[in-house]
Amino acid sequence: MKDEKYGVLVHGAGWVSGQHIAAFTRNPRTEVVAISSRKLASARARADEAGLTGIGIYDDYEMALKHDGVDIVSICTPQHIHCENVLAAAAAGKHMVIEKPAGNSLDELRQMRDAVRNARVRTIVSFVLRWNPLFKTIKSMIADDAIGQVYFVETDYEHNVASWWSGYEDIRKVSTGVNALLVGGCHAVDAMRWFAGQGEFEAARPIEVFAYSGGWRKGIPREFNYLTNEFRESRPLEYEGLEVALVKFANGALGKVSVNFDCIMPYTFPIEIFGGKGTIRDNRVWSHKFPGQRDWVSIPTILPDSADVSHHPFQGQMDHFVECLMSERESHCNLEDAIMTHEVVFAAQECYRTGCPVKLPLLVP
Ligand SMILES: NC(=O)c1ccc[n+]([C@@H]2O[C@H](COP(=O)([O-])OP(=O)(O)OC[C@H]3O[C@@H](n4cnc5c(N)ncnc54)[C@H](OP(=O)(O)O)[C@@H]3O)[C@@H](O)[C@H]2O)c1
């Protein structure tokens, strides 16, 4: 454990990076000591916005990694650059926060995993919803036997991702975004794994996947902006906007997960969890623990009902990671765990090619 504060380098000064900077600035055990990006002006703008003076500002990642006092690198670049960023940070012996999706292929994930293992550094992948208050409440209830043994989970990422997102130009292409399940659906895949795991801090291990893809939006140069409720011309998605996967878990539970970039409606993230002694639908509970209940019990809490990064619980995620570093333990959301989430995505892709169910794991452990 370090006596002084952990120094943080935030790399990739776009939309999400502002939340990483804010969370590390608020944590009493960390301080942002440098920001780097492709453009110097972007890194400087983020520092100014956060009121950070006297920190390192770089447009050269290798130089930023050598900045005095960097212990943690927060990787906030577009997903197709994460692998090279992780390999360089591991070679420099830095702990890492890796934005989702962690990598764009199985080969990238293998390289990243091996580099992290060799460097013996710690990681957390930004499946930030694990710290959403509804998610935390649900996991606490499941671990407390409120709904018994979980046998079926359904989660869906229903989000008309379009050009309002600064990252859209990168994610809409197959070469840099890959597919909808990887770009955004990975949040729903991770949530499905999280809720299918019976322990409070445990995600279930997927063992088989079957999937279809479809929808209407691929190649159509028109988009719907759910923030303004308007249709307009746009650069098209190069892949299908709808993917639906069925997943078997090692503990016997089944999961159904979808991503829907084609939906004409505001962002939603519905959750259904069925157990042998109860059911959870979003924030509503039916449980054997409430023998007199005659209607759904609703829990007033913060739902995962916004795609805005300022709504996401990055503070909880970063505080957890700092605790892991201080107590020298691995996060439940480290790269090794996140690879299981990503493998569901790549298995679904394999399924579109072969039409057959795909057994996991795909990477040799
Ligand atoms: N966990 C979550 O809920 C969540 C939410 C939103 C986003 N994300 C993820 O976070 C990552 C970034 O997304 P974002 O929304 O912040 O995208 P973004 O606004 O496009 O920001 C990415 C930034 O990376 C910089 N960049 C691009 N190419 C680079 C390169 N080769 N080297 C260094 N910097 C480079 C760009 O900065 P310049 O201005 O310097 O060119 C850009 O501003 C993505 O993986 C995304 O999926 C996660």
pLDDT tens string, the chain, 365 residues long: the values are: 677 899 999 999 999 999 999 999 999 999 999 999 999 999 999 999 999 999 999 999 999 999 999 999 999 999 999 999 999 999 999 999 999 999 999 999 999 999 999 999 999 999 999 999 999 999 999 999 999 999 999 999 999 999 999 999 999 999 999 999 999 999 999 999 999 999 999 999 999 999 999 999 999 999 999 989 999 999 999 999 999 999 999 999 999 999 999 999 999 999 999 999 999 999 999 999 999 999 999 999 999 999 999 999 999 999 999 999 999 999 999 999 999 999 999 999 999 999 999 999 999 88
Of the residues 36, 42, 76, which should be mutated to test ligand 1's pocket, given the most ligand atoms within 8 Å of the CB? 76
Of the residues 99, 261, 318, which should be mutated to test ligand 1's pocket, given the most ligand atoms within 8 Å of the CB? 99
Verify whether ligand 1 is closer than 6 Å to residue 76 (CB atom): yes
Verify whether ligand 1 is closer than 6 Å to residue 74 (CB atom): no
Of the residues 16, 57, 60, which should be mutated to test ligand 1's pocket, given the most ligand atoms within 8 Å of the CB? 16
Verify whether ligand 1 is closer than 6 Å to residue 77 (CB atom): yes
Cα separation, 208 vs 178, in Å, equals 21
**3-class SS of residue 116:** helix
Verify whether ligand 1 is closer than 6 Å to residue 78 (CB atom): yes
Q: Token pair of 308, please? A: 């805005």
CA 15 – ligand 1 centroid, Å: 6
Verify whether ligand 1 is closer than 6 Å to residue 99 (CB atom): yes
Verify whether ligand 1 is closer than 6 Å to residue 100 (CB atom): yes
* Ligand 1: nearest atom to the Cα of 79: 45
Q: Which helix (H) or strand (E) holds 318?
A: helix 314-326
Verify whether ligand 1 is closer than 6 Å to residue 45 (CB atom): no
For ligand 1, atom 17, the nearest C-alpha belongs to 167
CB atoms within 10 A of CB 316: 17
Verify whether ligand 1 is closer than 6 Å to residue 14 (CB atom): yes
210 touches 351 (CB < 8 A)? yes
Q: Token pair of 258, please? A: 């979808």
CA 16 – ligand 1 centroid, Å: 7
E-strand ranges in 193-287 read 206-214, 222-225, 230-233, 242-249, 254-260, 271-275, 278-281, 284-287
Q: How far is CA 131 from CA 194, 249, 314, 357, in A?
A: 11, 23, 8, 32
pLDDT at site 3: 74
CA 253 – ligand 1 centroid, Å: 35
* Ligand 1: nearest atom to the Cα of 43: 40
* Ligand 1: nearest atom to the Cα of 183: 47
Verify whether ligand 1 is closer than 6 Å to residue 21 (CB atom): no
Q: How far is CA 304 from CA 243, 260, 284, 325, in A?
A: 20, 16, 14, 27
- Which residue type, as a one-letter code, is found at position 352? Y
pLDDT at site 1: 65
pLDDT at site 365: 81
Helices (H) then strands (E): counts for the chain: 12, 17
CA 48 – ligand 1 centroid, Å: 18
The answer to whether the peptide bond before residue 221 is cis (omega within 30 degrees of 0) is no
CA 82 – ligand 1 centroid, Å: 10
CB < 8 Å & 24+ apart, contacts of 329-332: 330/122, 331/122, 331/123, 331/124, 332/130, 332/201, 332/202, 332/203
Verify whether ligand 1 is closer than 6 Å to residue 126 (CB atom): yes
Cα separation, 37 vs 57, in Å, equals 8
Question: Directed axis angle between helix 335-354 and helix 186-196, to 10°?
Answer: 110
CA 251 – ligand 1 centroid, Å: 36
